[in-house]
Structure 1
């Protein structure tokens, strides 16, 4: 199963970001990717108000991504924002193409390091997976990675790989935490962890999490197999879902749980 992780830098313009998706998907599909993963906030970055740009999954932006995916014969996974009934938005990870069109609404909101995501974003409640070519993929977003229970729940639903989109906030020690958490969540769910982050936009003001780069792939043993630096770029990786099965036989932490 070949997966592309596209480390882009989203702008405040959804149309411009859609052009980035179109270009990256075409290139990834030409290189044999079956899944093309983009970061959290691909639709628009966190530097602008989110409610005015939020659209439902059947709205123009998500529909355009589905058309891109269908034309390329892949599943595209990309972060967007959808309306919440309470006037806020959901931070949604769209998965579309190959007969799929669904969204995962981020459960754990980034109320940390001086940023309060819950002020404008409502939390999701559902653990979401999808199947492609005999592999079950889980979906997660950014701050979720600090909560191992979600990744174990995805494994319980059959996921042998989790696709995570992030717009990781910069700061002292944040890169080290990112790498540690990606590896830990792969190891304690004994699953592949494919984490695509927003590229580092350079010097910015404020606390909005706009990305640090370092998109990372970790195998079910928690070993980093591929990683980018802070600049835009693409990881193209072949994952073997059977590696999760053999790892779970050798390190049966899921089976051995007591709590």
Structure 2
């Protein structure tokens, strides 16, 4: 199936970001893609105002998501991204949303909050407590992860054992020493160890690295963007997936049980 990565720098004003998303959705649809993955926290951002994203959070029936739902009505394109949704006084959840034909077909609240490298996402954001659902797209099953989740192999393995063929990772990967190396190593590892496709889409701009990439089930990077805004396409092949899992049957050979979230008991 044909997929697209829409990499851009999130602006301070939600209307500008909505216009960028609608444009990317239109271009992806016109190019024949069935899946478009956008970055993390695309509603509003300002590197000089860390609390802006939560202050500007909107509910699911707010104007930002309403505009994107309307834009998704044409065709069968599935669009996946994350945004902040209010969740109590001066707090929010970082919710990953899947849209198709005007409807929200899946939602996942980010499990692992970015309390690392001198940053503290949990200061303003509440963590999710459920394993993400799988989304059917173009004959493949898609598992949802968000940014910092990639550092926790249990989630990727759980989604794969639940039946995921593709993992998507909307992100806002912050620049820093070795951070681009971490990004590529982790994305490649999660795809290879689970013999699945991984679509990792990063925000670009002054603070974040961009560098969106698609990794195939044998750890080969088949498409990537640089540090500037871009719309990148690739083909995911069911035959490549089946061949990788036949030649490298790590899922069948594993000796450990299926990972379980603490909140599941």
TM-score normalised to structure 1 length: 0.92
Q: State the alpha-carbon separation in 1 of the partners of residues 199 and 156 from structure 2.
A: 12
Identify the residue that residue 223 of structure 1 maps to in structure 2.
220
Question: CA 1:222–1:63 in 2, change beyond 3 Å: closer, same or farther?
Answer: same
Question: CA 1:255–1:85 in 2, change beyond 3 Å: closer, same or farther?
Answer: farther
TM-score normalised to structure 2 length: 0.90
Identify the residue that residue 194 of structure 1 maps to in structure 2.
199
Is 2:83 the partner of 1:80? yes
Identify the residue that residue 39 of structure 1 maps to in structure 2.
39
Which stretch shows the higher mean deviation, 18-27 or 39-48? Answer: 39-48
Identify the residue that residue 109 of structure 2 maps to in structure 1.
105
Q: State the alpha-carbon separation in 2 of the partners of residues 241 and 88 from structure 1.
A: 41
Which stretch shows the higher mean deviation, 60-69 or 164-173? Answer: 60-69
Q: State the alpha-carbon separation in 1 of the partners of residues 106 and 67 from structure 2.
A: 14
Q: State the alpha-carbon separation in 2 of the partners of residues 192 and 162 from structure 1.
A: 6
Q: State the alpha-carbon separation in 1 of the partners of residues 46 and 159 from structure 2.
A: 27
**Segments of 4+ moved more than 4 angstroms:** none
Question: CA 1:72–1:168 in 2, change beyond 3 Å: closer, same or farther?
Answer: same
Unaligned runs of 5+ in 1: 203-209
Identify the residue that residue 146 of structure 2 maps to in structure 1.
141
Question: How far apart are residue 194 of structure 1 and its match?
Answer: 0.6
Which stretch shows the higher mean deviation, 234-243 or 154-163? Answer: 234-243
Q: State the alpha-carbon separation in 2 of the partners of residues 118 and 100 from structure 1.
A: 26
Identify the residue that residue 95 of structure 2 maps to in structure 1.
92
Question: How far apart are residue 228 of structure 1 and its match?
Answer: 1.2
Unaligned runs of 5+ in 2: 257-265
Q: SS of 1:175's equivalent?
A: helix
Paired positions, count = 251
What is the aligned counterpart of 2:234 among 227, 230, 237? 237
Identify the residue that residue 126 of structure 1 maps to in structure 2.
130
Question: How far apart are residue 28 of structure 1 and its match?
Answer: 1.3
Q: State the alpha-carbon separation in 1 of the partners of residues 46 and 156 from structure 2.
A: 25
Q: State the alpha-carbon separation in 1 of the partners of residues 75 and 138 from structure 2.
A: 16
Structural RMSD (CA): 1.6
Question: How far apart are residue 249 of structure 1 and its match?
Answer: 1.9
Question: How far apart are residue 40 of structure 1 and its match?
Answer: 0.4
Identify the residue that residue 255 of structure 1 maps to in structure 2.
252
Q: State the alpha-carbon separation in 2 of the partners of residues 126 and 256 from structure 1.
A: 27
Q: SS of 1:63's equivalent?
A: helix
Is 2:15 the partner of 1:12? no
What is the aligned counterpart of 1:165 among 161, 166, 170? 170
Identify the residue that residue 25 of structure 1 maps to in structure 2.
25
